A and B are shown apart, each in its own frame.
Chain A
Amino acid sequence: MTAQDLKERIRAGLDGTVKEIVEPVPGQVYITVDRADIRRAADYVARTFNARFLITAGIDKRDTRGDFEVDHIFGLDPEKMFVTVRSSVPADDTRIDAITPSIPAAGWAEREMQDVVGIAAIGHPDPRRLVTPDDWPDGVYPLRNDFPYGHRPEPVPERPREYLDPPEGASVLPIGPFFPVLEEPSYWRVFIEGETVVGCDYRGFYNHRGIEKLGGTIQTYNEIPFTAQRICGICGFIHSTCYCEAVERAAKIEVPLRALFIRSVVLEFERIESHLLWLGIAAHILGFDTVLMQSWRIREPIMWLCEMLTGNRKAYDVNLVGGVRRDIPRETHPKILEVIASIEKQTAELVSTIPGDSTLLLRCKDVGVLSTEDTRKMAVVGPPARASNVDIDARRDHPYSAYDQIEFDVPVYDTCDVLARIMVRMDETLETIKMIRRLLDRMPEGPIMTKIEDELPPWQEGICTVEAPRGEAIHYVLTGPDNRPARWRVRAPTYPNLQSVPLALEGVQIADVPITIGSFDPCFSCTERVEIVQAKTGETRIYAQEELLELSREKSKAARR
């Protein structure tokens, strides 16, 4: 189905309610409907084309056209297209129907929109605060244009966070926010009966950093790649690439092919080091520190390689809008091939010991199962999706950088458990090494950066998705005047995945909770980059302590027999 067919079918299917359909970038279609029809239109797109919900962006357009805009972005994977259903919301009545009741995957996206842009989602099954802290005043919305960057509202007296209550007969085991295995703060309110989990309420967003506000206000186009690189420690480069390519698509910038190849190679380096790191963490969660040490030892040479090529072990900082800053010259190729060959051999060796290790299998097989149906319902992405028989991969479905220039396999397993997630990541690591060889082989000569003479045209939109090690990340950029974007919406892969973890935790034993959470490879830094918590950090810390003490004095018959 071509984009033209798609547009025609949508126009026919939503007869009369479509106000406008545009395709500013080939394959990226935007449908405008009336506010009242948003739910019907979103449903139609999701159901008819089997579209996968990606993210919702709320944009404050009061300065330019006097209203707000709500965009629900969907991905059509087989057709390699994006469809955005949008509608405008009047400035004096900031409400719109929620699409979550029929598209559960939109749960957090709409709550976030409520918190930071201030557009209420009517009919949302769980309208609790998501991202703003407990002492943030009501009615103050950080991502609105009249909220200056750097403004700190007076904290209001904290109201207790509303948590879900455990079901009849179950008790609460609080895991987090301070917890040894989870390196970052997250609060899993696990409901248990005996040693079995019957439900879970998650609270996160302890570590907001105001990145979207930064990108939408004071940072210029070429400063944002560096901010994006620092969205996440482990998968920063995908964010900077995704942002750059979104801008390049929006502004129709032609990037030299060699630069695209270099981006792909560095992205694949990132995948290797992320997966090997994760293998170590998963083993550590299981108490198997030997695999932790060995996998991190195997991984170390690639960190040194990246340090040599890009100037830093992890913050590669190679991207700029229009190309890359550093080349990967031919003299370095033998060294790269040597390093990845050694990693390939050692990883294959380490992975070959997993199927025979019966103690490890006891902890991983049939643990933390997330059914294929739930995976699709919550729009899970990345290795957890591929381990549950959902065959999606942004490199193949929505090609970016140089991925349409090489062939590669995408491993998919159907056992839906922790073991499948381990094997998907390990198979991906080995496949990635083959991909790097192909990329280096076919890398064309040429420039690595486009010269951009004129200012980028304002009010152009671009979407890019990138397959991070953890799954698909999506960036949406609306270019603006004055050399900076007007809106930058980021959704990291862990965002949808975390929403599905409570479903995966049902029926799991307490001892398996950390490994189940860990098998989704949550990257909290990526997920929680949304809003400013420049609130007095001292107070926040005290609150967390008190909350924890209070919880720990709660029913201590947590797991009595």
Chain B
Amino acid sequence: MNDWWPIALMNLLLVLLLSPLLEGVIRKLKALIHSRKGPPFTQPYLDLLKLLGKEELRSTRSFYFRVAPLAALSAILVAALLVPMGGGSPLGFGGDAIAFLYFFTLSTVAIVMGGFATGSPYAAVGSSREMMMVLTVEPVMAIALITAAAKANTLELGLMSARIADGQLTISLVVAAVALFLALQAQLGKLPFDIPEADQEIMGGPFVETSGPGLALFRLSFFARQLILGSLLIQIFLPWPAFEFIPLNVAVNLVKVFVVIILVGVIDAVVPRLRIDQSMNYFKYVIAVALFGLGFALIGQ
């Protein structure tokens, strides 16, 4: 694939420039459910700009603390270059679903390490909770992707998407999609699973000591996850209708991602937060369900 770089550039721009807008939509939706007017859709952009201009306060000289925001964002951006957003996977020749999971988890690990490095007890609690979440949520993502891989007979994400688009919606795909959606809710840090970042309980968890530009990068990495995971869900499990004309495909993808985001936002607004042990318990069942879906895929469904 010699012309991967326009797609790569498109993916990158979409993630950097459009994902704050998706966050704005979620916030506006939450406000609507709260019976209030809410912030403008462009508020996340303004928040990022404001944070970039603020002073960076450091609670520790630790290398991990300083590098964590950069690591988190750059890992997520690499993941963005592996995810198909309508134009296939730009770096698909270099990495597949496994690489995607690797970089995605790397971003989370960077956050966890940054949290432990600060020395704050709140960040320590938040980071340990994040690790526990990772242990129960990543397997769901992995199983869902393996299910799709079994259906499509490949691990390369772009190809996976194309082959599933040629096929039909089956039970295994539906089950895997639902499981992935639940994992998405947790990975995006949305209620009822926003436990590591629960500001009411532990002052913001791993982010408690980050400020200014570092916080802006962390936030952007979370916004980016929305577009990335949303595209993953849509492109792999619900890629219909698929078009040859790439810009159209991308536009359709964005519309579907938008719908997913709205669902995420609605759930975020109508449930209280779970405790970490309750959430881990919950995901045990989700893993079981996802394995079920995998079973269906392996028997050809």
Where the two chains meet, the residues of A that have a C-beta atom closer than 8 Å to any C-beta of B are 172-174, 179-181, 195, 283-290, 292-294, 297, 359-360, 362-363, 509-514, 552-561
Where the two chains meet, the residues of B that have a C-beta atom closer than 8 Å to any C-beta of A are 30, 33-36, 119-121, 124-125, 128, 191-192, 194-195, 198-203, 269-278
Enumerate 11 A-B pairs (CB-CB under 8 Å) in ascending A order.
Answer: A195-B277, A284-B200, A288-B273, A293-B34, A293-B35, A294-B34, A509-B275, A512-B275, A513-B201, A552-B119, A556-B124
Q: Is the CB of B121 within 8 A of A287?
A: no
Report the minimum CB–CB distance from B276 to chain A (whole Å): 7
CA distance A331 to B27 in the complex (A): 44
Interface centre among B36, B271, B277 (most CB of A within 10 A): B271
Q: Is the CB of A558 within 8 A of B119?
A: no
Report the minimum CB–CB distance from A61 to chain B (whole Å): 48
Report the minimum CB–CB distance from A343 to chain B (whole Å): 16
Residue numbers in B under 8 Å from A509 (CB-CB): 275, 277
Given contacts A552-B120, A557-B124, A561-B128, contact A359 B274 (CB under 8 A): yes
Q: Is the CB of B276 within 8 A of A195?
A: yes
Nearest CB in chain A to that of B131: its residue = A561
CA distance A179 to B204 in the complex (A): 11
Q: Is the CB of B201 within 8 A of A510?
A: yes
Q: Is the CB of B269 within 8 A of A287?
A: no
Q: Is the CB of A288 within 8 A of B271?
A: yes
Nearest CB in chain B to that of A283: its residue = B272
Residue numbers in A under 8 Å from B278 (CB-CB): 362
Residue numbers in A under 8 Å from B269 (CB-CB): 289-290
Q: Is the CB of A359 within 8 A of B272?
A: yes
Nearest CB in chain A to that of B269: its residue = A290
Report the minimum CB–CB distance from A456 to chain B (whole Å): 49
Q: Is the CB of B124 within 8 A of A290?
A: no
CA distance A286 to B119 in the complex (A): 26
Q: Is the CB of B274 within 8 A of A556?
A: no
Residue numbers in A under 8 Å from B192 (CB-CB): 287, 359
CA distance A553 to B271 in the complex (A): 35
Q: Is the CB of B125 within 8 A of A173?
A: yes
Nearest CB in chain A to that of B203: its residue = A180
Q: Is the CB of A174 within 8 A of B121?
A: yes
Given contacts A362-B274, A363-B275, A511-B275, contact A287 B36 (CB under 8 A): no
Q: Is the CB of A558 within 8 A of B35?
A: no
Residue numbers in B under 8 Å from A180 (CB-CB): 199-200, 203
- 9 closest A-B pairs by CB: A287-B273, A288-B272, A293-B34, A558-B121, A286-B272, A559-B125, A511-B275, A181-B200, A556-B119
Residue numbers in B under 8 Å from A285 (CB-CB): 200
Report the minimum CB–CB distance from B109 to chain A (whole Å): 16
Q: Is the CB of B120 within 8 A of A556?
A: yes
Q: Is the CB of B128 within 8 A of A287?
A: no
CA distance A294 to B128 in the complex (A): 33
Report the minimum CB–CB distance from B64 to chain A (whole Å): 14
Residue numbers in A under 8 Å from B276 (CB-CB): 195, 511
Nearest CB in chain B to that of A284: its residue = B200
CA distance A360 to B271 in the complex (A): 8
Q: Known contacts A512-B275, A556-B120, A558-B125; can you find 7 more A-B pairs with CB under 8 A?
A: A287-B191, A290-B269, A293-B35, A363-B272, A511-B198, A552-B121, A560-B128
Nearest CB in chain A to that of B30: its residue = A289
Given contacts A511-B275, A514-B200, contact A554 B34 (CB under 8 A): no
CA distance A294 to B36 in the complex (A): 10
Report the minimum CB–CB distance from B242 to chain A (whole Å): 37
Interface centre among B125, B195, B200 (most CB of A within 10 A): B200
Residue numbers in B under 8 Å from A359 (CB-CB): 192, 271-272, 274
Q: Is the CB of B124 within 8 A of A287?
A: no
CA distance A130 to B120 in the complex (A): 28
Q: Is the CB of B274 within 8 A of A363?
A: yes
Q: Is the CB of A559 within 8 A of B124?
A: yes
Q: Is the CB of A559 within 8 A of B121?
A: yes
Report the minimum CB–CB distance from B247 to chain A (whole Å): 38
Given contacts A180-B203, A181-B201, A556-B121, contact A293 B36 (CB under 8 A): yes
Report the minimum CB–CB distance from A445 to chain B (whole Å): 41
Interface centre among A174, A179, A512 (most CB of B within 10 A): A179
Residue numbers in A under 8 Å from B30 (CB-CB): 289
Residue numbers in A under 8 Å from B34 (CB-CB): 289-290, 292-294
Nearest CB in chain A to that of B276: its residue = A511
CA distance A181 to B198 in the complex (A): 11
Q: Is the CB of A514 within 8 A of B121?
A: no
Residue numbers in A under 8 Å from B275 (CB-CB): 362-363, 509, 511-512
Report the minimum CB–CB distance from A176 to chain B (whole Å): 10
CA distance A553 to B60 in the complex (A): 10
Q: Is the CB of A558 within 8 A of B199?
A: no
